[in-house]
Structure 1
Amino acid sequence: MSDLQKSFAKAKLAKLPPEPPPIWDEPSKQTQNNPSPMRDHDDDSSSASSVSSTGTVIPSPTQHLFARPGRGSPSTSTSLPWTQFFAQELFLSHDDPKHEDLEITHHVYVTPPTDSGPLFVMHHGAGSSGLTFASCAEEIRKILPKAGFLSPDCREHGSTTVKRKGNEGGVEPDLRLETLSQDLVFVIHETKEKMGWGSLPDIVLVGHSLGGAVVTDVARKGALGAKLLAYAVLDVVEGSAMDALQSMDKYLSTRPTRFPSLTSGIEWHTRSRTIRNRNSARVSVPSLLHEESPPSDPERPWVWRTNLDKTKPFWENWFVGLSRKFLEAKGGKLLLLAGTDRLDKELMIGQMQGKYQLQVFPEAGHFIQEDQPVKTAQVLVDFFRRNDRGALVLPPKVADMQAEAAMKKGAGAGVIKK
């Protein structure tokens, strides 16, 4: 990106509303003999961030990630209920179209739009859940009260389940891009039926990381027809995602596999700076973990809901051709990144040609929508308004202009005659 473009991006950032100071614990200082891979606050680099929604840093054992809050002070890591952010949840069941012996129950969070407001359909990244957009949705609603939200948990994530009928035998995960795209389209239409909407509202697709690949695929295929106004991709591009595949195994080997409590899981995410906004972590992290019953380790009974190791066969399938598809799909396009270094050549050329809107939040980590929910919300609302067909002001008809001119001419003649 050129210096001129960087200056333009900084100018745009300066106009955004200020973000409330995030609440997190500062990492402990490291000795020279034991340097930590923990990032500084303004460092947006991450080798694995474009692949896994949980891959932001490789924590050091000296960081005291499981340290308890001091006595006498209330814990700031207790979980927040999803009901503070969405109106309701739905469970949408159907048979897998490719495997008749499998039944899928999609779990989604919904807030209906009002007064012909838009529907923001949000798809999370790998290892995350629909609640990663909770704080951002809340902020959007403050700016655009009529907006609605649909934020599903995709397969193998959150509370969405895939079971063999009769509960006979296990199920191998199917996280191919084509499958996830079909799931998202099904969820949108099935939600319309469950909610009793006569027709779909105007839709803005928003996808983070893996979700960015899914919404781009849906947009490019035209699966939502004229109801799709625009789509936004958050912190993922093909080039950096493919490069990051090489470091994912190392990241997964260093990430903790178990936690002594739900609170300690929230603490790890904030202290490791995987999520830099504590309030957002308090609502999103609980959906990433579950308590084993009975636990194989009674001292650490909380484990990840999603086994990221099993998603490895699909990583390349998610991101190959993403930049080309992003530029080719119809509709307004927004790319929101945590750093300009994430742009690959194809996207840099497209940005210079004005094919999409680019926004950079250098103060955010990979979880842009959680680290900076206020700024992300403002950008998404502005993005919707620029693409809102209902807000278009059409030029007056020629006949109306001629009639108005004739009236003015007649009125002028009357004044002169008088």
Structure 2
Amino acid sequence: MSELQKSFAKSKLAKLPSDVPMSDVMYAHHQGHDDDSSSTSSLSSTGTLIPSPTRHLFARTKHTQPSKSCPWTDFFEQELFLPQESDNLHILHHVYLTSPKDSGPLFVMHHGAGSSGLSFATCADEIRKILPKAGILSIDARGHGRTTTTTTKTEQETPSTATAAQIEANDQVQLDLTLGTLSKDVVHVIRQTQERMKWDKLPDILLVGHSLGGAVITNVAKNGELGPKLLAYAVLDVVEGSAMDALQSMEKYLSSRPTRFPSLEAGIEWHTRSRTIRNTNSARASVPSLIYEEPSPIDPSRPWVWRTNLSETKPFWENWFIGLSKKFLEARGGKLLLLAGTDRLDKELMIGQMQGKYQLQVFPEAGHFVQEDQPTKTAQVLADFYKRNDRSALVLPPKVADMQAAAAMKKGAGAPGMLGQLK
């Protein structure tokens, strides 16, 4: 800093209230010049500067335990454990549910690889603020979250908590994570939820999928197994071209991230500091479902490990995304593609966009987890998307045959009156 700059700074500081700490002033300057993409900036952004009610114009907001987790009950009404017997396996599907009210729609959410149903927690909460009658069904896929797969039914498979024993049992089973299997799981879960909740009929459904989940829900839409109950589907930040390109560097990414954490809070903090998740509230909601504490840790100083071993899913990576763009454009129903950048569009989708085959929304300020980074904006886009595809809101003109029949009835009803007048 030059002498002239120092002199200017001193003259400005002299005009400030005497009770403003120098550290806060320097913090304000630091905030204004940091690169948002750095982990340092991500960390410092948790201490936003706001005017205080007194003369402390630059008082820093007080945060109590910024990395403390948020329970799922803050975002959903209940959780369900839905059993399924398949190929000598017992699968206990775990979902988070807020039931629709009256004739409200049901948003069915499917997360990406390595994530969980709580990836949509904050977004689901925002959707309900805009559409109070809407329901949310957020799924934990096989090998993710609290969904477990075992070869035999055990006492641990009770609808209470996902224990370490359940997770270890999950690891001992060769999971089938092919696109076809995951798609069938979605339909099974929807039907089982209807049965468990005793719904006379399925509500109108909007499928929403992030990353891998986008490929799954697109496949469900293309197969048409939900029939006319599927109004539309939305894919979040995944297209075939960029997904296939990203797979080339996936292993390098997985080898660079931590394999263990000293605490749950440390896991949450890593996600925000690395800007994997750019919204602290979203990280506090979703990260607790991504890691768990080992009962007998190899490293006692870092007992928290990932629930899902993403490296073991490598055999399925290409199967998830091959043909995605074509299926997305061909499946019936309204289509929405929400991306974090237009550079992710491949040729097929660019042509489809120019032909008006789907709605495109871009959030350049978000990272890959768009629904977590920007839950309010994502919820608004999804709510508007539903309203545009809501059949109950359509007022169709009467059919020509109905109009002719009504005219004939009116004419016939008027004839006796005219005869009476003549008499």
TM-score, scaled relative to structure 2: 0.78
Return the offset for 1:395: 1.3
Partners of 1:164 and 1:170 within 8 A in 2? no
Q: Which residue of structure 2 lines up, in the alignment, with residue 183 of structure 1?
A: 185
Q: Which residue of structure 1 lines up, in the alignment, with residue 321 of structure 2?
A: 319
Q: Which residue of structure 2 lines up, in the alignment, with residue 192 of structure 1?
A: 194
Partners of 1:173 and 1:310 within 8 A in 2? no
Aligned in 2, Cα 1:64/1:207: closer, same or farther, shift over 3 Å? closer
Mapped partners of 2:399, 2:141: distance in 1: 48
- The correspondence for 1:158, drawn from 145, 149, 162, is 145
Aligned CA RMSD, in angstroms, stands at: 2.8
Per-residue Cα deviation, 1:266-297 (whole angstroms, up to 9, x for no partner): 00000100000000110100000100001111
Q: Which residue of structure 2 lines up, in the alignment, with residue 126 of structure 1?
A: 113
Same amino acid, percent of matched pairs: 71
Mapped partners of 2:399, 2:217: distance in 1: 38
Amino acid at match of 1:198: D
* Residues 237-256 of structure 1 aligned to structure 2 (within 5 Å): 237-256=239-258
Mapped partners of 1:73, 1:94: distance in 2: 44
* Residues 38-117 of structure 1 aligned to structure 2 (within 5 Å): 41=36, 74-96=64-86, 99-100=87-88, 102-117=89-104
Q: Which residue of structure 2 lines up, in the alignment, with residue 354 of structure 1?
A: 356
Q: Which has the higher helix share?
A: 2
Return the offset for 1:397: 4.9
Per-residue Cα deviation, 1:89-137 (whole angstroms, up to 9, x for no partner): 00011111xx12x100000000100011000000000000000001111
Mapped partners of 1:351, 1:336: distance in 2: 12
DSSP 3-state at the match of 1:355: coil
Mapped partners of 1:88, 1:145: distance in 2: 16
Mapped partners of 1:312, 1:397: distance in 2: 55
- The correspondence for 1:148, drawn from 122, 135, 145, is 135
* Residues 356-375 of structure 1 aligned to structure 2 (within 5 Å): 356-375=358-377
Mapped partners of 1:366, 1:122: distance in 2: 16
Partners of 2:123 and 2:376 within 8 A in 1? yes
Aligned in 2, Cα 1:315/1:40: closer, same or farther, shift over 3 Å? farther
Q: Which residue of structure 1 lines up, in the alignment, with residue 222 of structure 2?
A: 220
DSSP 3-state at the match of 1:191: helix
Per-residue Cα deviation, 1:12-34 (whole angstroms, up to 9, x for no partner): xxxxxxxxxxxxx99x99xxxxx
* Residues 272-311 of structure 1 aligned to structure 2 (within 5 Å): 272-311=274-313
DSSP 3-state at the match of 1:79: coil
Per-residue Cα deviation, 1:280-330 (whole angstroms, up to 9, x for no partner): 110100000100001111110100000001011100000000001101101
Mapped partners of 2:119, 2:304: distance in 1: 19
Aligned in 2, Cα 1:344/1:300: closer, same or farther, shift over 3 Å? same
Amino acid at match of 2:117: G
Per-residue Cα deviation, 1:50-103 (whole angstroms, up to 9, x for no partner): xxxxxxxxx98x9998xx999x9521110001001000000011111xx12x10
Aligned in 2, Cα 1:238/1:257: closer, same or farther, shift over 3 Å? same
Mapped partners of 2:399, 2:42: distance in 1: 69
DSSP 3-state at the match of 2:113: coil
Return the offset for 1:165: 1.1
TM-score, scaled relative to structure 1: 0.79
Partners of 2:42 and 2:274 within 8 A in 1? no
Mapped partners of 2:351, 2:221: distance in 1: 21
Partners of 1:119 and 1:147 within 8 A in 2? yes
Partners of 1:79 and 1:263 within 8 A in 2? yes
- The correspondence for 1:206, drawn from 202, 205, 208, is 208
Aligned in 2, Cα 1:76/1:64: closer, same or farther, shift over 3 Å? closer
Partners of 2:42 and 2:275 within 8 A in 1? no
Per-residue Cα deviation, 1:217-238 (whole angstroms, up to 9, x for no partner): 0000001011100000000000
Structure 1 gaps of 5+ residues are 1-24, 30-38, 44-58, 411-418
DSSP 3-state at the match of 1:309: helix
Amino acid at match of 1:81: P
Per-residue Cα deviation, 1:139-187 (whole angstroms, up to 9, x for no partner): 0100100000100100110000000116799211211001100111100
Return the offset for 1:396: 3.8
DSSP 3-state at the match of 1:165: coil
Amino acid at match of 1:89: E
Aligned length: 351
Q: Which residue of structure 2 lines up, in the alignment, with residue 267 of structure 1?
A: 269
DSSP 3-state at the match of 1:95: strand
Aligned in 2, Cα 1:227/1:64: closer, same or farther, shift over 3 Å? closer
Mapped partners of 1:113, 1:378: distance in 2: 18
Aligned in 2, Cα 1:73/1:218: closer, same or farther, shift over 3 Å? closer
